[in-house]
Amino acid sequence: MKILVTGGCGFIGSNFIRHILNKYPDYEIINIDALTYAGNKENLRDVTGNKKYRFVLGRIEDKKFIKKIADKTNYIVNFAAETHVDRSIHDANPFLVTNILGTHNLLEAAKSSSVKKIVHISTDEVYGSLGSKGKFTEKTMFAPNSPYSASKASADLLIRAYYETYGLPAVIVRPSNNYGYFQFPEKFIPLMITNLLLNKPIPVYGKGENVRDWCFVEDTCAAIDTVMHNGRVGEAYNAGGSCEVKNIEIAHRILKIMGKGKKFIKFVKDRPGHDYRYALDNSKIKRELGWKPSVNVEEGLEKTIRWYKDNEWWWKPLKQKLKDESKGFWSK
């Protein structure tokens, strides 16, 4: 079995590659990544000597390049994307190029190949924002509120169109907010952890009342694995953590685990178009495929904090790079 993973040097992609290589030692993986700001070959340092793994530098926007590699694979799992909401507000263009045009190139390559299935990794943010009640189902109307989520919603619609028009064997996975090992340190949870390890304050938007459905990255990788092997083509599957927590509560839990006081919290001006609440209905993936999250938020946060404590070699250079480039919205 040969799997083409795009964006495999990113957070979820690198964890997924490690998951597949550990679980299916006979599978071969080709990892394509452009190594943009959040793509890091060091995320996969431990698998670089594996004969079943190969890294190729490249972009999904390159039509000829993608077509040549897609022809030789059985499955495509597309993680390649610009993902940070704040960066999309600052400059939307890279998000449109990679998330929409890049996805289109990938679909065109898959359409003319013998690929058995293309698995596209989306986000719960395509649905927009919830009030205090209810959950997003796969049938919820799209209502994206940031350039990032709009670009991901556009990619989802392209996937649907290529399935309906050309019969392309594609399936979509929509995870909720992920956290865990190798997550870029400008993201909410690793930002807080790494700041506290440096005895710096942790920024929280507004009053921290925004609610997110948190899912440990290993659970998400298991969900993608399940959908890749058993998901019905033409379908979308929500993969949430069944764990709704306010941002301020996440901050308090991290402070408690790390033995820090509330004085480290720094409330900052809220971002434009900040969605209030996300919550995914997991009933479809549970019913059809038998997947459900297994790691609760307390266990997940403890594992994540322990990993960042033990792996300063990984995150400290990235933290310094964000500071030097003055592009880390939280680094000041």
The one catalytic residue among 28, 33, 82, 124: 124
Q: Residue 270: what pLDDT?
A: 84
pLDDT digits (tens, 9 = 90+) for 144-192: 999 999 999 999 999 999 999 999 999 999 999 999 999 999 899 999 9
The one catalytic residue among 53, 75, 148, 308: 148
Q: Contact 137/187 with Cβ under 8 angstroms? A: no
Per the listing, tokens 């994307």 go with 81
User: Tokens in use for 166?
Assistant: 């050309």
Residue 63 has pLDDT above 90, yes or no: no
How many residues appear in the chain?
332
Residues 6+ apart with CB under 8 A from 47: 17, 18, 21, 53
Residue 294 has pLDDT above 50, yes or no: yes
pLDDT digits (tens, 9 = 90+) for 197-231: 999 999 999 999 999 999 999 999 999 999 999 99
Residue 328 has pLDDT above 70, yes or no: no
Residues 6+ apart with CB under 8 A from 194: 185, 308, 315, 319
- CATH class of segment(s) 2-176+216-239: alpha beta
Residue 307 has pLDDT above 90, yes or no: yes
Q: Contact 170/118 with Cβ under 8 angstroms? A: yes
- Is residue 186 part of the annotated active site? The answer reads no
Distance, CA of 261 to CA of 149 (rounded, Å): 34
Q: Contact 163/113 with Cβ under 8 angstroms? A: no
* Structural domain spans, the chain: 2-176+216-239
The one catalytic residue among 28, 82, 125, 275: 125
- Is residue 46 part of the annotated active site? The answer reads no
Indicate if the alpha-carbon torsion angle 158, 35, 184, 46 is positive or negative.
positive
Mean per-residue pLDDT, 24-47: 94
- Is residue 181 part of the annotated active site? The answer reads no
Q: Residue 47: what pLDDT?
A: 96
Residue whose C-alpha is closest to residue 8's, from 27, 26, 35 = 35
